[in-house]
Amino acid sequence: MDRVEAWMTTSEILIRTKERSDSHWISELLKAKWASVRIVTRGRIHDATKLAAFLAIVNGSRAGLITYRVERRECQIVSLNSLVENMGVGKALLTMLERDASSRGCKRIWLVTTNDNTDALRFYQKRGFRIAALYPGTIRDSRRLKPEIPMKGLDDIPILDEIELEKTLGIHQTISPQ
């Protein structure tokens, strides 16, 4: 996890690996944004507090978090939260993760979001992710594992389906921090 230590963008966003002293903050953020530290994707429960993570620091304060896991040359984004809008925090976290995943030899970064999360669909597609799969009705099964998942989500849209997004990492791929 220490392959990529830190990186500063031109807008003064510092990205660093999580530290032990971040544990309480990470737990509270996940509970506030995800209703639990447990996140369910594709029928699997992830304790996001135990995953690898990068934090964004802006003006000395924690401003964002990305949690992920690497398995078989693939990197799964489990959660991404930016606490500062329109400043590039999410983009900086994603860029750092792409660099780290590439340095680990990963060939693919992927994630699962829900049909109501149009902001995430827009964010990831603008950064080169493509829809890889649609899993209709699978949120019903996810609620059995995590009852905290609400029936309706963003913009009062019923949460029904999982959507898998992916980005292939190439040997000659250039990742811009812009």
Over the stretch 55-91, which tens digit does the pLDDT of each residue have?
A: 999 999 999 999 999 999 999 999 999 999 889 999 9
pLDDT in tens, 150-178: 999 989 999 999 999 999 997 544 444 44
Closest of 88, 14, 10 to residue 58, by C-alpha: 14
For residue 113, what are the domain limits? 6-168
174 assigned to some structural domain? no
173 assigned to some structural domain? no
176 assigned to some structural domain? no
Cα separation, 147 vs 6, in Å, equals 37
Structure tokens at 68: 């992920």
95 assigned to some structural domain? yes
93 assigned to some structural domain? yes
Closest of 5, 4, 176 to residue 91, by C-alpha: 176
Query: Is 2's pLDDT higher than 70?
Result: no
177 assigned to some structural domain? no
175 assigned to some structural domain? no
State the CATH number of the domain containing residue 91.
3.40.630.30
pTM: 0.87
Cα separation, 125 vs 117, in Å, equals 12
Angle at 94 between CA 91 and CA 95, to 5 degrees: 85
What mean pLDDT is predicted for residues 137-151?
Answer: 94
Amino acid at 73: R
Phi, psi of 26 (to 5 degrees): -60, -45
Number of domain units in the chain: 1
110 assigned to some structural domain? yes
